[in-house]
Structures are given as structure tokens and as C-alpha cells.
Structure 1
């Protein structure tokens, strides 16, 4: 069994995530009345018997973590992000320790000598896309050593073509809403014929200090060169219509080229890559994602509940709405929803109103983000 790397964060320093897997959890039952025992034995906890309860809890916690590692080790994934443990009181007489996280595949990050230097670095998802089989810009990387700024672009190569170079205009928007455009930037690639192309760094005219205040980017491809010739995209790109938080969540869950949520009206269906396919098509003609794998398997109609939550002001009130519907919600989501509520309640004590954040997390969970 391969060693599993685990973090409570979203990434591993020195590694890049090559594939996102499912969210998984395991649980270890403490006892049928563990929390009730604690509640009725406060005096014991304050004395030398406190170690007994701590040992029970530590043992169950360690067992849950061990079981989670064993479960993860039997999959094709070699790491876990967002790992956390929690004691969950399901009812008055059932309590368990839960270990949960998202399975991922990671590999060591390639770093050039330039990348290994100490510098300001900014990575930006690209907020527009072409709805056709052309190179799709998915990320812009800006870096500065204090002696000028360099830029690199990442492209999805759906056709696995031997793409040698791409000429593009890059439009940046900063936190003040101001725009600046780099025109005719030539991106070249050492490694071609791969599904994800990462260009060499090229010098650009952005001031060093400007990098820190850039908030978004768009890419407009002028031409690209393959072994077969020089091509242009022709059409105008489409802007992404998602909030920054949902856009990031979508990328992390569905892949770097994802730009929208799956939806279908029976006649046509929209893929995560943004392409609208005929209703009878089993897979997307652009990215080859299968429709069945994108369908939301949640049976509960969550939208009326979300709308009711928006009418409330505080997380406690939002939780009351959730509890009203909890029995109708798919069992696999209940624990995650309760964890969102508990986390929101704790943060609201120190950070102020968490209404919007909690509702967005609930909505993202039902959307599979």
C-alpha cells in the first residue's frame, strides 16, 4: 500500500494535483451513550478520571484516522486534501468519530531555475473560453524577481495536437476594476502533444508591484501553430458567468478547463467545459466528458430550501431551516451539511455574519462542487 499524504489544507508544497477524486469519510462508533456519559460525569472529568474519557476519545480518533488511511490506500489516489475529524452525535444514543477528506492524485511539481528563485508569484484562472476544439487557456502565471516580470500560460490541448506556439492578447483586471492588456504575447512550449500545455516564461511589461493587485485575466487567441500549419480561432470567446468562489470550486472539483455547471433540459445538455450537446449524446464532443458522470444524483429538490435560507439573517436561523428538511435530504449529504452549519456558527462568533458564506457552501455541496 502506497503511503498516503494528508493535509487539512487544499494543496501540498512542491506537488501539483493531477486529479481530483471523490469526497470520502469513515466513522468509528464511540459507544451507544458516550456523550451522555460525559454530560453526566462533569465532576469525574474535572478529576483524575478525565484521562479515561480522553483515552476513549483518542483511541476512537486514531482508529478512524487509521481506517481512513486504509480506505484511501486501496484506491488509485495517493493523497488527501481538506482532511478533518469530528465527533458527531447522531442521536441521543449514537455517537461516532468521523474522519473525512477529498481524495486526490499528486505528483512532484517541475520547477525551472527561475521558478526556484524567491519572487512574487500570482496564478490566475482564465475567465473566458472558446466553445470549440482549439487550445483553451486555463491559467495565467505571473512572476517577478524584482528585475522585471515574466508570464506563462497554461492551455488545455483537447486534440493532443503538436502545438508549438500560441500568440494571444492577455487582458488583466485589478482590484480597482482597471484593465490593462498585453498584446501579441508569444507563448512557446518545450513539451508538446500533451493534454495540458505549460508555456515557457516570457518577459512582459507589467510593473512588479502590479502583480499583487491583479484579480482576474482573460485570454484572446490570435493564432496558434501546429505541425500542420497556422490557425486562428475565428469566433469571439465567451465570458465565464460565475462568482470567483464558485469558479475556483468548480475548477478544483471538475478540472482546470471547467467553466460552468452541468445542466440539461432533455433536448440539450451543457457540459462542464461549456459546450452545449445534443440530448442523445453520451459524451461531450469537445472534452469527451460523459453525461452520466456529470449528472447530479441528489434527489432532494434543494432550491426552495436555499431560497428560504436567503430570507434568514443568521446561521442559527439557517440551521433551523436545514433541520426542517433534514429527513428528506439524501443521507450521504446530511453530515456534511451539519458540519457546514457548525463551522458557520463558530466563525460567526468571531468574524461576524456568515450567512452568505454558509448558503454558498450549502449550494455548492448540492451542485457537487
Structure 2
């Protein structure tokens, strides 16, 4: 029989009432002679007899509640609000124990893991990569429910290989600039042959409280296992130097494995995945991105302008630099750039210098981020 929740109040903590039914009651008839001594009150009866009566009433009350729950269980409802019990005396000395309440349908209120008081979770983009056709560590997920820390790593699997397991060293940096390393962590995968592999969570010796302090993560892959054998990575990883905000914007726009902005000098071009391809290649030999899809249609060379902006102190001065170049900038960007300047000037009146924020927004606009 389905579980039925009952309350004398009007709601259930952690549940939402989605439908109200009718008011219902059940009763259990008591022999008329049983309570004839209760004309005054049960407290006036001798102690030994009072205990017998109390036990009997409790037994009948429990039976009545049981019957009430069974009745609700057979309905389309799963809970009761305003639940009450009592003893009713009818005509001809007929007495009954009655249970009543309003039938309702309830459903658990959704509570994300982040709202649980003892749950900590942090997701970090990996700030290093290998310029090879191997699993690309892209994200680290740390989680704790107060009983130890677990870690999972997401890997881009460009060839959709059947990666069975992977051994890696994880390095975390906290907000104080201190490093902590987890050596030789073995990750396994519930599903393989996917473009994005999410490892099973692994217990690690990272203190629960440390999770909130972590600011960045790097993953150094040692070995990985496919059905065809064990493979080692004999290469140095490449660190990512761009700011965290720009790095996140790049990921959102260009994909979770993106680590670099597209650029080309005609002879070679750098893909969003960081691989440097020959100029004549139409697509990246690592991730398969097409060069034409990454090319920026903006013709204006913004870098000299940005460098000049960096020499200024306030946004009003940065705007003056913009106005020197405004005629040469693609018409589609002019209005957005002016809006960035006006917003920065307004914020600067109350928040102090907005120079760095404004310049970053200008760069992101030209980069398509």
C-alpha cells in the first residue's frame, strides 16, 4: 500500500500540496457498556480500571487511524491535512472513536543539491591541456556532503574512443595562492565511446572545507586505458594564462574544450582547442573545428587601440581613445562600444575606476565572446 502522510496542520515541510480532495472520516463503534463509567471523566475511575480503559481506547484509536490510512491509500490522494481524532457519543448510548481530515495530493518540493546545508559542490574549468589527440581534461567537479570529498573529471574524447580508465595527477590552487596535489588518481567511466566522458566520482583526501577555497585546477594525465591497450602521455601540458572571466566566456561561446582564441597569420592558424594547424587546412586535425566557422568577420585591427586604452586611468579617457578610432571600426560594433563606455562612466561615479572591466568588455566584443 502506498505511503500516506498525515498532519493536524495545514502543510508538510518539504512538500507542496498540488490538489485538495474531500473531507473524510472513519469510525470504530465501541460497545455501549464499555464507557458507561466515563459519564464524568476517566480521571474519576479507579487507577487500575482507568489503565485498562486507556489501553482499550488506545487500541481502538490505533485501529481507527489504520482504517483511515487504508481508506486514503485506496483513493487518488496520498496525504491528509487537518487530521483529528476523538470520541463521539451517539443516541442509544452508542459510542465511537472517529478519525477525520481533508484528503490532499502532495509532491516533494524540489531542492537542488546546492541548497542542502551540508552539501558543497564546485566546478572548475581545467587550466592546462595537451596539444595531442588524447583525452582532454576540461572540467573538475568537487563535491562533499560532510562525509569526505569526492572528485570527478570531465574529458573531451575527440575520437569517441572506448576509454575504460585513466590515471591523472590533480593540482589545485586556493585563493591564497597555495597548491595542493592529488597524485595518481584513478578515474573510471560508466559510459565510453562518448565525445564527452564524465568520470565516476572518486573519494579523495581533500578536506571538505577546502573546496570553497579552491580557485583553479590543473589535470596532468599519466596513462589511459582502452580495450586495445594502455597508453602513456609523453608530453608537457600547456598552461592557460588568460583571466578567469575571459576563460569562462571562451568556454561558453566556443565549447567546453576551448582554450585559445582563433588567430591566423596566413601560414598557420590556431584553433579554439589550442592546436596550431597549417594555413591550408580547412579543419583542425585535433578537434575537427572548421577554420571558416571560427574566422572573425571584423576587419578592424583592435589591438593597437586596446593597448592605448590600457595606458589611461579612467573610462572617460578610454572613451576619448575609442573616438579616435571610431570611424574605422565596423559599423555593427560602434553602438555596442559606446554603450560599454557610457555604462562604465556611470558605474565609475560610485564604484571607482572601471578601467579593467571596460577594456575586458571591449576585447571580448572584438573576440566574439
TM-score range, shorter chain: 0.5 to 0.7
The DSSP-based 3-state class of the residue aligned with 1:260 is coil
Q: Deviations over 1:292-331 (max 9, x none)?
A: 1112211112122212212221111212222232222112
Q: Deviations over 1:142-200 (max 9, x none)?
A: 11111111101000010011112111110111111111110111111112111111111
Distance 2:343 2:162 in 1: 48
Residue in 2 aligned with 1:213?
Answer: 213
Give yes or no for contact 2:164–2:227 (8 Å, CA) kept in 1.
yes
Residue in 1 aligned with 2:240?
Answer: 240
Residue in 2 aligned with 1:139?
Answer: 139
> Following superposition of structure 1 onto structure 2, how do residues 184-203 of structure 1 map, counting pairs within 5 Å?
184-203=184-203
1:114, distance to aligned residue in structure 2 (A): 7.6
> Following superposition of structure 1 onto structure 2, how do residues 78-97 of structure 1 map, counting pairs within 5 Å?
none
Cα 1:138–1:327 change in 2 (3 A) is: same
Residue in 2 aligned with 1:315?
Answer: 315
Residue in 2 aligned with 1:274?
Answer: 274
Give the structure-1-normalised TM-score: 0.67
1:339, distance to aligned residue in structure 2 (A): 2.1
Residue in 2 aligned with 1:342?
Answer: 342
Greater Rg over alpha carbons, structure: 2
Q: How many equivalent pairs are there?
A: 258
Give yes or no for contact 2:123–2:139 (8 Å, CA) kept in 1.
yes
* 1:303 paired to 2:303: yes
Which runs of at least 4 in structure 1 moved beyond 6 Å after TM superposition? 113-116
Which stretch shifts more, 204-213 or 184-193? Answer: 184-193
Residue in 2 aligned with 1:285?
Answer: 285
Give yes or no for contact 2:223–2:230 (8 Å, CA) kept in 1.
yes
Unpaired segments of 5 or more residues in structure 1? 1-110
Residue in 2 aligned with 1:360?
Answer: 360
Distance 1:255 1:217 in 2: 18
Please report the RMSD computed on the Cα atoms of aligned residues, expressed in angstroms. Answer: 1.8
1:275, distance to aligned residue in structure 2 (A): 0.8
Unpaired segments of 5 or more residues in structure 2? 1-109
1:335, distance to aligned residue in structure 2 (A): 2.1
The DSSP-based 3-state class of the residue aligned with 2:222 is strand
Cα 1:116–1:348 change in 2 (3 A) is: closer
Distance 2:341 2:113 in 1: 44
Distance 2:157 2:308 in 1: 43
The DSSP-based 3-state class of the residue aligned with 2:163 is coil
Give yes or no for contact 2:166–2:186 (8 Å, CA) kept in 1.
yes
Distance 2:303 2:223 in 1: 43
Distance 1:314 1:326 in 2: 18
Give the structure-2-normalised TM-score: 0.67
The DSSP-based 3-state class of the residue aligned with 1:155 is strand
The DSSP-based 3-state class of the residue aligned with 1:224 is strand
* 1:330 paired to 2:324: no
Residue in 2 aligned with 1:168?
Answer: 168
The DSSP-based 3-state class of the residue aligned with 1:164 is strand
